[in-house]
C-alpha cells in the first residue's frame, strides 16, 4: 500500500492514561500509537497518527487524508456526538473510514448513543479498548483491498 492510513484522535484523548481510567483504561495515547504502529508494520501499512482538541483541525486532517491517505480511522471523542462538520468532512472524502471508540458508547449515557460519524463510516469498532485500533487497521486493510 503506497499511501498511509490516517489515525485521527479527537478531544481529551491526549489525557488517556489518567483520564477516567475506570472507563478508558491505563494506556496512554503514546501506548496506543505504539500498538497501531506495530500492527501497521505487520500488515505492511504506513500510518500517520494524530490527536487534536480542535474540531477545525480534525476537519483539516480529514481533508488531508482524503488527498494523501489510503483510508482513515477516527476516534472523534465527544465530537462524535455533536459534529456535523466532521460528518460533512468525512462525506467529502473518497477513502474508507472506520470509527473507533475505546468504550462501549451504547452502554453509557443516552447522549453517547448517537454518532454523526457512523452514517458515513464503513464500520464502527467500540468497546474493545486499545485493541480496537488494531482491529480497525485489519478491517481497513481489507476494505482498501476490496475497493
Ligand atoms: C470515546 C467515547 C466518547 O463518547 C467520549 O466523548 C470520548 C471517548 C471513546 O473512545 O470511548 O472522548 O470516543
The closest-lying atom of ligand 1 relative to the alpha carbon of residue 12 is 12
pLDDT at 1: 66
- Average pLDDT of the segment spanning 58-63: 98
99: nearest Cα among 117, 78, 119: 117
Cα-to-centroid distance, 101 and ligand 1 (Å): 6
Q: Under the phi-then-psi rule, with left for phi > 0, alpha for psi from -120 to 50, and beta for the rest, what region is 59?
A: alpha
List, for residues 15-47, the tens digit of each pLDDT value: 999 999 999 999 999 999 999 999 999 999 999
List, for residues 98-124, the tens digit of each pLDDT value: 999 999 999 999 999 999 999 999 999
Task: Give the pLDDT band of residue 2 (cuts 50, 70, 90).
Answer: confident
pLDDT at 52: 98
- Average pLDDT of the segment spanning 123-130: 97
The structure's pTM equals 0.97
Q: What is the pLDDT of the chain when averaged over all its residues?
A: 96
**pLDDT at residue 146 above 90?**
no
Provide the 3-class DSSP secondary structure of residue 51.
Answer: strand
- Average pLDDT of the segment spanning 42-63: 98
Nine cell digits for residue 139: 478491517
**pLDDT at residue 147 above 80?**
no
Cα-to-centroid distance, 100 and ligand 1 (Å): 9
Ligand 1, pocket residues at CB < 6 Å:
12, 75, 77-78, 80, 101-103, 105, 112
d(CA 18, CA 88): 32
- Average pLDDT of the segment spanning 91-95: 97
Cα-to-centroid distance, 80 and ligand 1 (Å): 8
Nine cell digits for residue 7: 489515525
By alpha-carbon position, which residue is closest to atom 1 of ligand 1? Answer: 77
Catalytic-residue membership of 81:
no
Point out the catalytic residue in the list 6, 24, 116, 133: 24
Point out the catalytic residue in the list 26, 79, 81, 101: 101
Task: Say how many Å lie between the first and final Cα of the chain, rounded.
Answer: 13
Beta bridge partners of 71: 5
Nine cell digits for residue 5: 492510513
**pLDDT at residue 84 above 90?**
yes
By alpha-carbon position, which residue is closest to atom 13 of ligand 1? Answer: 77
d(CA 60, CA 47): 17
Catalytic-residue membership of 24:
yes
Amino acid at each position: 500500500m503506497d499511501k498511509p492510513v490516517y489515525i485521527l484522535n479527537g478531544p481529551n484523548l491526549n489525557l488517556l492514561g489518567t483520564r477516567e481510567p475506570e472507563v478508558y483504561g491505563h494506556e496512554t495515547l503514546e501506548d496506543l500509537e505504539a500498538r497501531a504502529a506495530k500492527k501497521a508494520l505487520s500488515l505492511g501499512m504506513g500510518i500517520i497518527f494524530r490527536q487534536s482538541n480542535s474540531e477545525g483541525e480534525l476537519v483539516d486532517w480529514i481533508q488531508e487524508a482524503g488527498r494523501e491517505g489510503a483510508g482513515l480511522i477516527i476516534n472523534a471523542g465527544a465530537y462524535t456526538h455533536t459534529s456535523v462538520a466532521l460528518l460533512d468532512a468525512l462525506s467529502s472524502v473518497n477513502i474508507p473510514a472506520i470509527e473507533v471508540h475505546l468504550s462501549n458508547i451504547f452502554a453509557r449515557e443516552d447522549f453517547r448513543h448517537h454518532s454523526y460519524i457512523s452514517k458515513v463510516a464503513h464500520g464502527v469498532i467500540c468497546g474493545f479498548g486499545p485493541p480496537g485500533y488494531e482491529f480497525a487497521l485489519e478491517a481497513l486493510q481489507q476494505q482498501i483491498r476490496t475497493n
